[in-house]
A and B are shown apart, each in its own frame.
Chain A
Amino acid sequence: MTDAGANWLDILLTFTRLGLISFGGANLAEIERVLVGQRQWITPGTLASGFALGQIMPGPNMLAMTHYGFAAGGWAGAAAATLGFYGPTALLSAAAALAWRRLLGWKWLPTIRSALLPFGGGVLLAGVLVLARGSVQSVAGAVIAAAAFALLTRTRVNPALVVIGAAALGALIGL
């Protein structure tokens, strides 16, 4: 957020790399390492609040990347981040879909799936840890997170409603 003049090409390439190395979901640990640590384009607070905003937006919940791009370089940064994060991976997916008949019969396909899944699981867990560091800064925050988790696992309530409810609660108690 501090450097509003980051080069758009730099943003494009950085977010392209972040897109290509996320499997099965958000690779938040790597996103934090690069955007907060290495580049210092966003703060840990922006990381957490952008991710939260992504949960209440229509569509894919990693729209937070657009938020981070805007923080790094304004409108051009938002465009570069969106194009970089979604473009190349969508192209790869389309290419894979067009070659699908050959890919699905390939004997290494189940092998690759079984090899990628533990990596994806570990990446997701690391993301939980990184997000917890950025978002839970008080006992009240921990209670809200635990209550949200209980609601999400025990009921069928829409996750967006839980996030909005937690926002209202946060504003009410001055979290």
Chain B
Amino acid sequence: MPTHADLLRVFAGVAMVGIGGGLPAHMRRAALGRAWMTELDFAETYTLAQLTPGPNAVNLAAMIGARLRGWPGALWAVVGVLTPGLIAMLAVTVVTLGLPGGLPAPLQSALRGAACAALAVMLTAALPVLRVVGGLRGGWPLALATFAGIGLLRLDLLPVLAVVLGAGLILHRPRPQEQP
């Protein structure tokens, strides 16, 4: 079993090798390689992490930490996975937002270029989710309704969530004959 210091150190290491994404894969390697979890434990935890609100990678860290060392374990895993990025982000933020005269022109151009590429990253992150959605009963109509409501009509999120989630729950409700 890992100590709190182990969790802090390993999750900080996961964050540092996970620049650009793929954090769940690095967490899997870290936890299985140290025999902290079995493949099945990880698969179950990963499934649950998709269902809780919030950023998936941080949720997954909290869940792995909690399974290994309870509440304090969750805390140390989350602090570990966030700390390297927080330090780097704050350093860059102070420079980019804190300069009195604003950013020099070349840096502004660089940030605009980076933002265009980040758009592409966001789109590639959406594609696997949309593929899974396409295989679900009512998946595409509900996804498009969500897109129209939030993206085009700029409706408040909670009513959209209530309608789409409600329709999905009715469509996919457990049926008596499917029970073991």
Taking the nearest CB of chain A, how far is it from the CB of B85, in angstroms? 3
* Contact of B120 with A145 in the complex, beta carbons under 8 Å: yes
- Nearest B residue to A153 via CB reads B124
- Nearest B residue to A21 via CB reads B157
Q: Which secondary structure characterizes the binding site on chain A? A: helix
Note all chain B residues with C-beta closer than 8 A to A104: 44, 47-48
- Nearest A residue to B126 via CB reads A124
Within 8 A of B (CB), among A117-161: 117-132, 134-137, 141-142, 144-146, 148-149, 151-153, 158-161
Note all chain A residues with C-beta closer than 8 A to B18: 58-59
Note all chain B residues with C-beta closer than 8 A to A130: 151
Q: Which of A19, A37, A126 has the most CB of B within 10 A?
A: A126
* Contact of B165 with A94 in the complex, beta carbons under 8 Å: no
* Contact of A53 with B114 in the complex, beta carbons under 8 Å: yes
Taking the nearest CB of chain B, how far is it from the CB of A34, in angstroms? 9
- Nearest A residue to B136 via CB reads A114
- The listed residue (B63, B114, B132, B157) touching A163 by CB distance below 8 A is B114
- The listed residue (A59, A129, A136) touching B23 by CB distance below 8 A is A59
* Contact of B121 with A93 in the complex, beta carbons under 8 Å: no
In the complex, how many residues of chain B place their beta carbon closer than 8 angstroms to a beta carbon of chain A? 103
Note all chain A residues with C-beta closer than 8 A to B62: 90-91, 93-94, 97
Note all chain B residues with C-beta closer than 8 A to A137: 112
- The listed residue (B54, B65, B84, B173) touching A59 by CB distance below 8 A is B84
Binds A, one of B2-10, B28-36, B90-98: B90-98
Within 8 A of A (CB), among B89-120: 89-90, 92-94, 96-97, 105-107, 109-120
Taking the nearest CB of chain A, how far is it from the CB of B110, in angstroms? 4
Taking the nearest CB of chain B, how far is it from the CB of A102, in angstroms? 11
Contact of A40 with B by CB under 8 A: no
Taking the nearest CB of chain A, how far is it from the CB of B139, in angstroms? 5
Contact of A70 with B by CB under 8 A: yes
Q: List 17 A-B contacts (CB under 8 A).
A: A19-B54, A30-B150, A58-B15, A63-B82, A90-B58, A94-B63, A97-B62, A103-B48, A115-B167, A116-B165, A124-B129, A126-B152, A128-B119, A130-B151, A160-B19, A160-B21, A173-B109
| Chain B interface residues (CB < 8 Å from chain A) | 15-16, 18-21, 23, 44-45, 47-67, 70-71, 74, 78, 81-82, 84-86, 88-90, 92-94, 96-97, 105-107, 109-127, 129-130, 132-133, 136-140, 142-147, 149-152, 154, 157-158, 160-161, 164-165, 167-169, 171-174, 179
